[in-house]
Amino acid sequence: MEPPFPELDWHKPLPLHGWFLVAPSSQLKRGTVLTFDLPGLPLVVFRGEDGAVRAVQAYCPHMGTHLAHSSVHGSSLQCPLHHWRFECGGSHGSPPGCAGPGAPAKLQPRPALRSYAVREACDAIWVTPRQEADAKPFPLFDGVSPESLLYKQGTPVFLRCPWQAVVANAFDLNHFQTVHARALHGTPSIDDQGHRLEFKYMSKVTGNELADRIMRKVSGNAIDVTIHCWEGSVLTVKTRTQRRETFLWLSFLPAEGGTIVKPLYAVPRGSAPLLSRLRVQVAGWLFHAFLKKDIRILEGMRFSPKVTPEEDPYLCKYLSFAARQGSGSIPQPHSPQPL
Ligand code: FES
Ligand SMILES: [Fe+2]
């Protein structure tokens, strides 16, 4: 019989190459540089004096100086050691490479800096280890303009388990009652859309903790949930109740010995700014109250799923999706070339 999903070392992090949340936009002022390490791909992200954000390889192609200490001039980055200047023209989004400085006649042209696709959206900066032409769709909610939402970044959490264990939790309906005190209404649906996996279900609250009681009250006890897993690196979750919609992004960054999970919450901007700010705080608090139950249990997990499609068809579908996403390799920067 066909295995329901590939047999892999599930407890080791699979390669991951979707979009990653770097930092809130406010953390990167004009003319400043941030370091951001993707697995096997150290980067620096900088904001030019024109306001546009770029992401480039972290090491200077001349002698390998880390560019965290470089200076920004217009849309160029200048290495601190010998002042080679790399022109990273273009506006938001990266050109294929940032041209190296000119060289005296008869010498080989100097190498360029490799650049990566970057987005500034949802009050945050995002990067992918792909170049602009190869970038996959950015994780947005269907039919919802990012400008129509009010955002709040949650506190990042480090979990000692691979990213695919954390994402699998969202597709594991069998823990909903045992961990979250939630029951399902009706039959869920799951749809592998190629670059993302869509999961929809309706749930109701059965617990009696404070967050459960508030959720029951504000939702009318019918919560319509739509989850998208975007190449594994981001989960988007939309919850719709009789009164309103709330939105959550969870960005997963593999790190030494585990995964950094960065949450970003949002609600629609209403006509009363104070009320919208209050709503996004409450949405963040309710999501956090839900997620902290998973955080406690996933910490230190040695992920080794043994489930059958009869027992859990949704989780099996996710594991097949994760194995496929993890089978590609992350594009590496060019190694420094001799002059
Ligand atoms: S190491 Fe960067 S210019 Fe020489
Ligand atoms: Fe969970």
How far, in Å, CA of 325 to CA of 202, rounded? 27
Q: Which ligand is nearest to the CA of 167?
A: 2
Mean of pLDDT values over 103-119: 80
3-state SS assignment for residue 104: coil
How far, in Å, CA of 64 to CA of 216, rounded? 56
CATH 3.90.380.10 residue ranges in the chain? 146-325
| CB-based burial label for 65 (10 Å; 0-12, 13-18, 19+) | middle
Which one has a higher pLDDT value, 264 or 333?
264
- Residue 62 near ligand 1, beta carbon < 6 Å: yes
CB count, 10 Å around CB of 26?
Answer: 10
DSSP assigned state of 305: -
Of 33, 57, 65, the residue with max ligand 1 atoms within 8 A of its CB, to mutate for a pocket test, comes to 65
Identify the helix (H) or strand (E) that includes residue 153.
strand 149-153
Helices 163-170 and 313-325: crossing angle in degrees, nearest 10, is: 150
Where does the pLDDT of residue 326 fall: very low under 50, low under 70, confident under 90, or very high at 90 and above? low
Identify the helix (H) or strand (E) that includes residue 35.
strand 33-38
What average pLDDT does the chain have? Answer: 89
Which one has a higher pLDDT value, 199 or 92?
199
How far, in Å, CA of 77 to CA of 85, rounded? 6
pLDDT by residue (tens digit) across 148-200?
Answer: 999 999 999 999 999 999 999 999 999 999 999 999 999 999 999 988 999 99
How much helix, strand and coil, in percent to the nearest 5, is found in the chain?
A: 25, 35, 45
Task: Report the DSSP pairing between strands 97-98 and 41-47.
Answer: unpaired
- Residue 84 near ligand 1, beta carbon < 6 Å: yes
Q: Name which of 330, 325, 55 is nearest 163 in CA terms.
A: 325
Residue having the nearest C-alpha atom to atom 4 of ligand 1: 82
What Å distances lie between residue 5 and 90, 175, 291, 328, CA to CA?
Answer: 43, 20, 26, 17
Mean of pLDDT values over 202-210: 93
63 Cα nearest atom in ligand 1: 1
Q: What is the CATH number of domain 20-134?
A: 2.102.10.10
What Å distances lie between residue 51 and 28, 72, 269, 314, CA to CA?
Answer: 10, 11, 25, 43
The radius of gyration computed from the CA coordinates of the chain, to the nearest angstrom, equals 22
Tokens encoding 230: 């975007």
Mean of pLDDT values over 125-147: 94
Of 84, 85, 86, 113, the residue with max ligand 1 atoms within 8 A of its CB, to mutate for a pocket test, comes to 84
pLDDT by residue (tens digit) across 282-302?
Answer: 999 999 999 999 999 999 999
Which one has a higher pLDDT value, 39 or 1?
39
Q: What is the CATH number of domain 146-325?
A: 3.90.380.10
Answer whether residue 106 shows pLDDT above 70.
no
Where does the pLDDT of residue 85 fall: very low under 50, low under 70, confident under 90, or very high at 90 and above? very high
Q: How far apart are the first and last CA of the chain?
A: 57
Give the number of residues written for the chain: 339
pLDDT score, position 96: 54
Identify the helix (H) or strand (E) that includes residue 55.
strand 53-57
- Residue 65 near ligand 1, beta carbon < 6 Å: yes
Angle at Cα 279 formed by Cα 275 and Cα 282, nearest 5°?
Answer: 140
pLDDT by residue (tens digit) across 49-72?
Answer: 999 999 999 999 999 999 999 999
Positive or negative torsion for Cα 27, 33, 37, 43: positive
What residues contact residue 254 under an 8 Å CB cut-off, 6+ apart? 13, 16, 39, 162, 163
Answer whether residue 92 shows pLDDT above 70.
no
CATH 2.102.10.10 residue ranges in the chain? 20-134
What residues contact residue 175 under an 8 Å CB cut-off, 6+ apart? 169
* The most confident of 2-6, 33-37, 320-324, by mean pLDDT: 33-37
Quote the percentage of the chain above a pLDDT of 90: 75
Which one has a higher pLDDT value, 109 or 208?
208
Mean of pLDDT values over 300-321: 94
